[in-house]
């Protein structure tokens, strides 16, 4: 019987290496609330990622919700329909109206040319996504934001460690939000973080993620419980020791897919941006009408052969019941987003996938 091949599997370091971390937590009796491992992980992530300030969270969704609170965003926010639902949900939880804008099919990111025409007097920010770890057009987006006085938040859930023009992608915008969910390149079981440019902003974020407490008796904001535990932080510290090897292995898998699928009629691949040092977080293919099967027929055939890809991102957020009534959710406004969502399949890519399974996936699609 063939092994199941899933779209992703978390990297798990040797268990015996994690035991000393747990023993130290038990000895300290410090399980959460900015413990020593939490502080150490923030420091080491700043160093590794090339950023000045980072605040750890229990997950990426709470981090998104808090980023919007920290910047006091209200009214309308321009965002993409081609992403995971948490992006739009974070707006709804803050009583902010999402305004969906179409994507550039070459990058699957917000099309800057569509942003400006969607700005209204109620627009307060742009919430863009570095889809699949591909950088948005950060210079153009910032230029638009500066003209109209808008904040810029990047959902960088896919972009851990990505560098653009030889600097961290995470330094762009007013804040970048990371996810450390188990499916991500770097994970802490569950977790997330906000990257921000200055100590004052980090202080506000830290207040907000801890119920608004400034000290034992002083509450300065309507905060939430978004703190990362010591166990999650400890696992992150261990993961960080292996992250370069994990990314290197994933890039090799990426290269094998590109070589094996290049030239297959009807299968389109994303182009490589020479200005980007990526992390191979996803490997999307796009099934055009020239392929002998429809996208969904190929998807089902893959499952029949125990290969479990994912249609990231289908359906679009704009097609979901809580959003499809918005004026910005109409298909005529989101032509490219709809086209891409109907074509995409993300193939299995993770550090533990072996060459035989990669060849199996390639052969299944190429034949």
Two tokens, residue 222: 């309507």
Q: pLDDT tens across 138-164, in order?
A: 999 999 999 999 999 999 999 999 999
SS (H, E, C) the chain: CCCCEECCCCCCCCHHHHHHHHHHHHHHCCCCCCCHHHHHHHHHHHHHHCCCEEEEECCHHHHHHHHHHHCCCCCEEEECCCCCCHHHHHHHHCCCEEEECCEECCCCEECHHHHHHHCCCCEEEEEEECHHHCCCCHHHHHHHHHHHCCEEEEECCCCCCCEECCEEHHHCCCEEEEECCCCCCCCCCCCEEEEECCHHHHHHHHHHCECCECCCCCECCCCCECCCCHHHHHHHHHHHCCHHHHHHHHHHHHHHHHHHHCCCCCEEECCCCCCEECCCCCEEEEECCCCCCCHHHHHHHHHHCCEECECCCCCCHHHCCCCCCCHHHCHHHCHHHHHHHCCEEEECCCCCCCHHHHHHHHHHHHC
pLDDT at residue 117, as a whole number: 95
pLDDT at residue 218, as a whole number: 97
pLDDT at residue 3, as a whole number: 84
Q: Which domains does the chain have, with CATH numbers?
A: 15-240 (3.40.640.10), 243-366 (3.90.1150.10)
HSE (side-chain half, CA atoms, 13 Å) at 362: 19
pLDDT at residue 82, as a whole number: 98
pLDDT at residue 37, as a whole number: 98
Residue 191 CB neighbour total at 10 angstroms: 27
pTM tops 0.85, yes or no: yes
Between CA 101 and CA 117 the distance in angstroms is 9
Q: Does residue 229 carry a pLDDT above 90?
A: yes
Average pLDDT score, the chain: 97
Q: Are 65 and 94 in contact (CB under 8 A)?
A: yes
Q: pLDDT tens across 187-210, in order?
A: 999 999 999 999 999 999 999 999
Q: pLDDT tens across 299-346, in order?
A: 999 999 999 999 999 999 999 999 999 999 999 999 999 999 999 999
Per-residue pLDDT, averaged over 107-130, amounts to 97
CA 266 to chain centre: 28
Between CA 361 and CA 5 the distance in angstroms is 9
Two tokens, residue 361: 């996936």
Q: pLDDT tens across 49-69, in order?
A: 999 999 999 999 999 999 999
Per-residue pLDDT, averaged over 209-238, amounts to 97
Per-residue pLDDT, averaged over 86-90, amounts to 98
Q: Does residue 1 carry a pLDDT above 70?
A: no
pLDDT at residue 367, as a whole number: 84
Question: Smallest Cα–Cα separation from 6: which of 276, 365, 317, 357?
Answer: 357
> Roughly what angle, to the nearest 10 degrees, separates helices 60-70 and 86-93?
40
Q: pLDDT tens across 246-301, in order?
A: 999 999 999 999 999 999 999 999 999 999 999 999 999 999 999 999 999 999 99
Between CA 179 and CA 95 the distance in angstroms is 22
Q: Does residue 71 carry a pLDDT above 90?
A: yes
Provide CB contacts within 8 A for 305, sequence distance 6+.
2, 360, 364
pLDDT at residue 347, as a whole number: 98
Per-residue pLDDT, averaged over 111-131, amounts to 97
Share of the chain above pLDDT 70, in %: 99
Using only the alpha carbons of the chain, give its radius of gyration.
21
């Amino acid at each position: 019987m063939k092994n199941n091949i899933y779209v992703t599997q978390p990297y798990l370091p040797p268990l015996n290496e994690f035991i000393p971390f747990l023993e130290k937590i038990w000895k300290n009796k410090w399980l959460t609330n900015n413990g020593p491992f939490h502080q150490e992980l923030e420091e080491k992530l700043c160093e590794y990622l090339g950023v000045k300030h980072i605040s750890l969270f229990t997950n990426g969704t709470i981090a998104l919700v808090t980023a919007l609170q920290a910047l006091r965003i209200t009214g309308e926010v321009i965002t993409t329909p081609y992403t995971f639902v948490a992006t739009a949900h974070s707006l709804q939880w803050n009583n902010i109206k999402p305004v969906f804008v179409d994507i550039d099919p070459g990058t699957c990111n917000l099309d800057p040319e569509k942003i400006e025409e969607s700005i209204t007097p109620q627009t307060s920010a742009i919430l863009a996504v570095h889809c699949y770890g591909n950088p948005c057009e950060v210079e153009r987006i910032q230029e638009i934001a500066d003209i109209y006085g808008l904040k810029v938040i990047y959902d960088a859930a896919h972009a851990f460690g990505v560098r653009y023009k030889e600097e961290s992608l995470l330094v762009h915008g007013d804040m970048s939000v990371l996810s450390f969910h188990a499916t991500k390149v770097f994970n802490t079981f569950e977790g997330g973080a906000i990257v921000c440019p200055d100590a004052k902003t980090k202080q506000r974020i830290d207040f907000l993620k801890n119920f608004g407490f400034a000290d034992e008796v002083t509450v300065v904001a309507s905060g939430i419980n978004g703190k990362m535990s010591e166990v999650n932080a400890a696992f992150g510290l261990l993961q960080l020791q292996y992250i370069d090897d994990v990314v290197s292995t994933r890039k090799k898998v990426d290269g094998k897919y590109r070589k094996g699928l290049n030239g297959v009629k009807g299968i389109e691949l994303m182009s490589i941006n020479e200005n980007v040092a990526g992390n191979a977080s996803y490997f999307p293919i796009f099934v055009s009408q020239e392929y002998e099967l429809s996208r969904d027929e190929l998807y089902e055939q893959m499952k029949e052969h125990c290969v479990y890809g994912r249609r990231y991102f289908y359906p679009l957020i704009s097609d979901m019941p809580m959003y499809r009534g918005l004026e910005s959710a109409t298909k005529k406004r989101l032509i490219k987003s709809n086209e891409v969502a109907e074509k995409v399949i993300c193939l299995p890519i993770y550090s533990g996938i072996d060459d035989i399974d990669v060849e199996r996936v390639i052969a299944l699609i190429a034949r």
